[in-house]
Amino acid sequence: MQKLILAILSMFFACSLTQAQGTAGECPDEALMEAGVTITYGDALLRAEPASVRVCAGGKITITLVPEAGYDVMEVELKARKKEEKWLKKAVRAVDLKEKEKRRQFKIKVPEGQPAGIYKYYVKVPGVGYLDPRVEVVDSHSQ
């Protein structure tokens, strides 16, 4: 009987710890499920704003391309600094994206379970230049 009571108490204790700490994959703030970066480029111009964003694992990053006239046919490449971070790899041309209010957008999904940390990536536009912005992935214990 004592073993049964101890087993039940252990289960209650384990459940209370899980609730207090949060479960893996749970975002501490709904606002961190989406982030946005605007990439503006053209003649001697390449800018990513903001240079760093915070998003939870499982969240989405909306990339908005704002090319100067004539630059919408240029390929914009996003590439993680580390090969294994394939979720941060995309090559697009603004002309191929649906236009909304003179802006072209696409989304990048941060994989569920992506470890918390700072992920560096390159934004490269041939003939214009490149930048190295960052994505900070937060976990259920971040604020």
Listed by start position, the domains of the chain span 2-138
Short-list 129, 49, 53, CA closest to 88 = 53
What pLDDT sits at residue 4?
43
Residue 44 burial class via C-beta count within 10 angstroms: exposed 0-12, middle 13-18, buried 19 and up:
exposed
Per the model's pLDDT, the better-predicted residue between 99 and 113 turns out to be: 113
Residue 18 has pLDDT above 90, yes or no: no
Spell out where 1-141 has E strands: 34-42, 45-49, 52-56, 60-67, 75-80, 89-93, 99-100, 103-109, 117-125, 129-131, 134-138
What pLDDT sits at residue 17?
32
What pLDDT sits at residue 6?
42
Per-residue model confidence as pLDDT tens digits over 120-131: 999 999 999 999
Quickly name the fold that domain 2-138 has.
Answer: Immunoglobulin-like (2.60.40)
Rounded distance between C-alpha atoms, residue 124 and residue 34, angstroms: 23
What pLDDT sits at residue 26?
77
- 41 contacts 67 by C-beta, under 8 angstroms: yes
Structure tokens at 51: 């240079």
What pLDDT sits at residue 141?
55
Confidence band of 103 (pLDDT split at 50, 70, 90): confident
Per-residue model confidence as pLDDT tens digits over 38-68: 999 999 999 999 999 999 999 999 999 999 9
Per the model's pLDDT, the better-predicted residue between 102 and 90 turns out to be: 90
Rounded distance between C-alpha atoms, residue 80 and residue 122, angstroms: 6
